[in-house]
Amino acid sequence: AQSVTQPDIHITVSEGASLELRCNYSYGATPYLFWYVQSPGQGLQLLLKYFSGDTLVQGIKGFEAEFKRSQSSFNLRKPSVHWSDAAEYFCAVGAPDSWGKFQFGAGTQVVVTP
């Protein structure tokens, strides 16, 4: 079965600075990978996804993520954060051979300071 780890529970970043959120997964083959964002009181919104192909994936709101098979990672990046990026971010893993069993990480809370 697949699993996912987000090592950082909480990150504080200054507005305008770059942001990188870490995600490591465990799965025997290439999984489906997702990043979601959740604002307070809201549902989860998909930022980007990786199924196959180009390992650098562009998403909405200026986010991108890179799939690195050798490191079992799918880190999320943004070059310059905005105050509106303050939210909780979830990495998720889906297994092509056990579809439906998406695993979500514990989430990383991002605080943006002026």
- In the complex, which residues of this chain contact other proteins (CB under 8 A)? 32, 34, 36, 41-46, 49, 51, 90, 92, 94, 96, 99-102, 104-107
Q: Please answer whether residues 64 and 78 qualify as being in contact, where contact means their C-beta atoms are separated by less than 8 angstroms.
A: yes
Distance CA 31, CA 28 (A): 8
Pair of tokens at residue 79: 């070059």
Total length of the chain: 114
Least distance to other proteins, CB of residue 53, Å: 13
Q: Of 7 and 96, which has the nearer Cβ to other proteins?
A: 96
Least distance to other proteins, CB of residue 103, Å: 8
Least distance to other proteins, CB of residue 19, Å: 21
Least distance to other proteins, CB of residue 89, Å: 12
Q: Of 1 and 17, which has the nearer Cβ to other proteins?
A: 1
Q: Of 28 and 100, which has the nearer Cβ to other proteins?
A: 100
Q: In sequence order, what are the residues at sequence separation of 6 or more whose Cβ sits closer than 8 angstroms to the Cβ of residue 22?
A: 6, 7, 8, 73, 75, 108
Q: What angle do CA 88, 82, 44 make, to 5 degrees?
A: 30
